[in-house]
Chains A and B, each alone.
Chain A
Amino acid sequence: MMEEKKRKIGVYICHCGGNISDHVDVEAVREQVEEQYGVTVARTSMFTCSDASQNEMMKDIQEQGLDGMVVASCSPKLHLTTFRNMSTRAGLNPFQYVQVNIREQCSWAHADDHEGATCKAANLVGAGIEKVMRQEALQPIRVTSVKRVLVIGAGIAGLRAALELADLGVEVFLIEKEPAVGGMVGRLGEMFPADKNGVELIAMLLAEVKKRPNITLFLNAELAEKSGHIGEFELTIRIRNAAAADRTEEAVRIQVGAILVASGFAEYEPKPGEYGFGQPGVVTLSEFERLLQEGGEKLLHDGSEVKKIAFVYCVGSRQGQETENANRWCSRYCCSAAAHLAVQAKKKFPGAQCYHFYRDMRTYGKFESLYEEAGKSGSLFLRFDAEHPPRVEKNGGSWLVTVQDLLTGGDEVAVPADLVVLVTGMTARANDELTCVLKLPLGAERFYNEIHPKLRPVETVIDGVYIAGSCQGPKNAGESVVSSLAAVAKAAALLIKGYVDLQPFVAYVKADLCAWCGQCAAACPYSAIEKVTYGDKEVAQVVDVLCKGCGACLPVCPLDATQLKGYTDEQIEAMIDVLAREAAHEG
Chain B
Amino acid sequence: MDRRQFLVASATLSVGGIPNVNIKADDAKEPREFVGVLVDTTRCIGCRSCEVACSETHSNYVPDITSDNALESIRDTSERQFTVVNRFSTEKGEVFVKKQCLHCWQPACAAACLVNAMLKTKEGPVTWDGDKCMGCRFCMISCPFDIPKFEYASWNPRIMKCNMCYERLQEGKKPACVESCPADALMFGQKRELMEIARHRVYSHPDNYVHHIYGENEAGGSGWLYLSAVPFNQIGFRTDLGTTPYPEYTREFLISIPLIEFGVPAFLLALNTLTDRKDELRKDDEWTESGVEK
A and B together in one complex = no
- B residues sitting closer than 8 Å to A (CB atoms) are none
- A residues sitting closer than 8 Å to B (CB atoms) are none
